[in-house]
């Protein structure tokens, strides 16, 4: 039996491998605390669940949805963007609902990349970026996200040959996995670069609503002229604790949105309409719980950082995203340190190398862990002396 060459080239998806290791440990009866996957442990808001329950009994919602989503969902997305960022969108042309942002990020390469084309990707990156480019037959070009640059790429260092062959560029702020931030001056530089080289700029903004210490992340579309060249991905997953419901959106340049729509209309049948009604309830309903939710994540952050620092893991206290991005002590690779934590303490972290070449030397911890598990991990780490 023969399989495609792209399947042979595809590495195991990072979080599938992490889940396998967790299952093995738990099968042995071990109490595993996992900081591996950014999957909120807190529940979807009650009014959102009630909207879904009510919509699920409507016969019209039992049939195929449309790929471009309900008009009222597109209007709700546009209304949320205007209220949150002051960005006015045309719901009929500049808004496309997604089955979670991941599928949009991955499918986008099929719209913009032909075999042999180059895609510029910040490295380390969300693994779906690499996979989408590989499936499209493109070549990823890593733009290093270095700590000394605030985990933002130095666009002036992109070689001319790579820039000329590029047909798209991925950015992601607040960043996964590094928790790096971008302000409007960086977005201005990125938009100018994309326009200069005539390449679509795809910005993953899924973590703008997970922020601490009074910080308010930006949308790239706030920048005048960004819509000429950019689309932005967002998600209800992290904002409203809806990872399991699979709903997100792409917004921005109408031509780029339409290109992604053409891909999706041939590959999927859209978001179930009862879940679209949940999305409308989330986007249009009360938003006050976000501050309460973020206070929980901030409390977890502040418990973990001191004990990790005492072990020699170096990091900045993040102002946004769900993640701690910690440099491992000298003498270890990211994989070695993650394995040691799993073997000796039954604590799961993500090795940075799984996010790209420039993730080596770091581990990522997600704060989507119950308070009781955070306390368990702190106790285990507090007196730990690594063996090996």
Per-residue pLDDT tens over the stretch 159-171 = 999 999 999 999 9
Whether 249 has a pLDDT exceeding 90, the answer reads yes
- 155 within domain boundaries: yes
* Domain membership of residue 258 as a residue range: 46-284
- For 291-310, the pLDDT digits (tens) are 999 999 999 999 999 999 99
| CATH code of the domain containing 105 | 3.40.640.10
- Element holding 171 (H helix, E strand): strand 166-172
- Element holding 204 (H helix, E strand): strand 201-204
Looking at the structure, do residues 274 and 329 belong to the same domain, yes or no?
no
Looking at the structure, do residues 107 and 119 belong to the same domain, yes or no?
yes
177-197: burial string, b at 16+ Cβ within 10 Å, e else: bbbbbbeeebbebbbebbeeb
Whether 244 has a pLDDT exceeding 90, the answer reads yes
Q: What is the pLDDT of residue 14?
A: 67
- 388 within domain boundaries: no
Whether 68 has a pLDDT exceeding 70, the answer reads yes
Query: Are 111 and 259 within 8 A, CB to CB?
Result: yes
Mean pLDDT of 90-102: 98
- 177 within domain boundaries: yes
Distance, CA of 198 to CA of 250 (rounded, Å): 20
- 309 within domain boundaries: yes
Last residue of a domain, one of 284, 300, 333: 284
Looking at the structure, do residues 70 and 113 belong to the same domain, yes or no?
yes
- For 255-286, the pLDDT digits (tens) are 999 999 999 999 999 999 999 999 999 999 99
Looking at the structure, do residues 20 and 129 belong to the same domain, yes or no?
no
Looking at the structure, do residues 190 and 294 belong to the same domain, yes or no?
no
235 compared with 1, residue with greater pLDDT: 235
- 242 within domain boundaries: yes
pLDDT more than 90, % of the chain:
91
Mean pLDDT of 80-108: 97
Mean pLDDT of 368-388: 94
Which residue is associated with the tokens 């949009």?
Answer: 104
CB-side exposure of 203: number of CA atoms within 13 Å? 31
Looking at the structure, do residues 336 and 369 belong to the same domain, yes or no?
yes
Looking at the structure, do residues 238 and 179 belong to the same domain, yes or no?
yes
Last residue of a domain, one of 219, 253, 284: 284
Looking at the structure, do residues 63 and 14 belong to the same domain, yes or no?
no
- 387 within domain boundaries: no
| CATH code of the domain containing 297 | 3.90.1150.10
Looking at the structure, do residues 228 and 318 belong to the same domain, yes or no?
no
Distance, CA of 340 to CA of 118 (rounded, Å): 37
Looking at the structure, do residues 99 and 210 belong to the same domain, yes or no?
yes
Lowest mean pLDDT: which of 20-29, 232-241, 323-332, 343-352?
A: 20-29
5 pLDDT tier (thresholds 50, 70, 90): confident
Q: What is the pLDDT of residue 255?
A: 98
- For 98-131, the pLDDT digits (tens) are 999 999 999 999 999 999 999 999 999 999 999 9
Mean pLDDT of 214-222: 98
Q: Count the domains in the chain.
A: 2
Looking at the structure, do residues 104 and 240 belong to the same domain, yes or no?
yes
Q: What is the pLDDT of residue 7?
A: 81
Q: Answer whether 0.85 is exceeded by the pTM.
A: yes
Last residue of a domain, one of 284, 311, 343: 284
Tokens of 252: 């921005």
- 93 within domain boundaries: yes
Looking at the structure, do residues 83 and 204 belong to the same domain, yes or no?
yes
Distance, CA of 141 to CA of 305 (rounded, Å): 33
Whether 13 has a pLDDT exceeding 80, the answer reads no
388 pLDDT tier (thresholds 50, 70, 90): low
């Amino acid at each position: 039996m023969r399989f495609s060459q792209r399947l042979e080239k595809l590495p195991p998806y990072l979080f599938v491998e992490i889940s396998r290791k967790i299952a093995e440990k738990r099968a042995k009866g071990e109490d595993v605390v996992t900081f591996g996957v950014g999957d909120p442990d807190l529940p979807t808001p009650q009014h959102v669940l009630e909207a879904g329950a009510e919509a699920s009994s409507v016969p019209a919602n039992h049939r195929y949805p449309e790929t471009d989503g309900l008009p009222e969902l597109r209007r709700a997305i546009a209304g949320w963007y205007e209220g949150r960022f002051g960005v006015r969108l045309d719901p009929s042309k500049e808004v496309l609902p997604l089955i979670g942002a991941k599928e949009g990020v991955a499918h986008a390469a099929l719209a913009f990349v032909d075999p042999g084309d180059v895609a510029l990707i910040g490295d380390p990156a969300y693994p779906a970026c690499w996979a989408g480019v590989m499936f499209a037959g493109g070549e990823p070009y890593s733009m290093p996200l270095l700590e000394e640059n605030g985990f933002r790429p130095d666009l002036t260092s992109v070689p001319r040959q790579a820039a000329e062959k590029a047909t798209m560029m991925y950015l992601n702020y607040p960043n996964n996995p590094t928790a790096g931030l971008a302000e409007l001056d960086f977005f201005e530089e990125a938009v100018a670069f994309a326009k200069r080289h005539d390449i679509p700029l795809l910005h993953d903004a899924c973590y703008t609503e997970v922020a601490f210490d009074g910080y308010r992340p930006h949308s790239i579309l706030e920048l005048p002229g960004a819509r000429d060249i950019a689309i932005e991905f967002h998600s209800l997953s992290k904002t409203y604790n809806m990872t399991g419901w699979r709903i997100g959106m792409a917004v921005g340049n109408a031509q780029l949105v339409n290109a992604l729509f053409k891909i999706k209309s041939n590959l999927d049948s859209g978001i179930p309409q009862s879940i679209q009604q949940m999305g409308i309830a989330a986007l249009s309903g009360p938003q006050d719980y976000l501050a309460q939710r973020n206070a929980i994540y901030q409390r977890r952050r502040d418990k973990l950082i001191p004990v990790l620092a005492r072990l020699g893991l170096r990091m900045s206290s993040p102002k946004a995203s769900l993640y701690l991005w910690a440099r491992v002590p000298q003498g270890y690779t990211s994989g070695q340190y993650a394995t040691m934590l799993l073997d000796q303490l039954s604590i799961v972290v993500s090795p940075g190398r799984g996010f790209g070449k420039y993730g080596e030397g770091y581990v990522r911890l997600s704060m989507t862990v119950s308070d009781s598990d955070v306390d368990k991990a702190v106790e285990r780490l507090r007196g730990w002396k690594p063996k090996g």
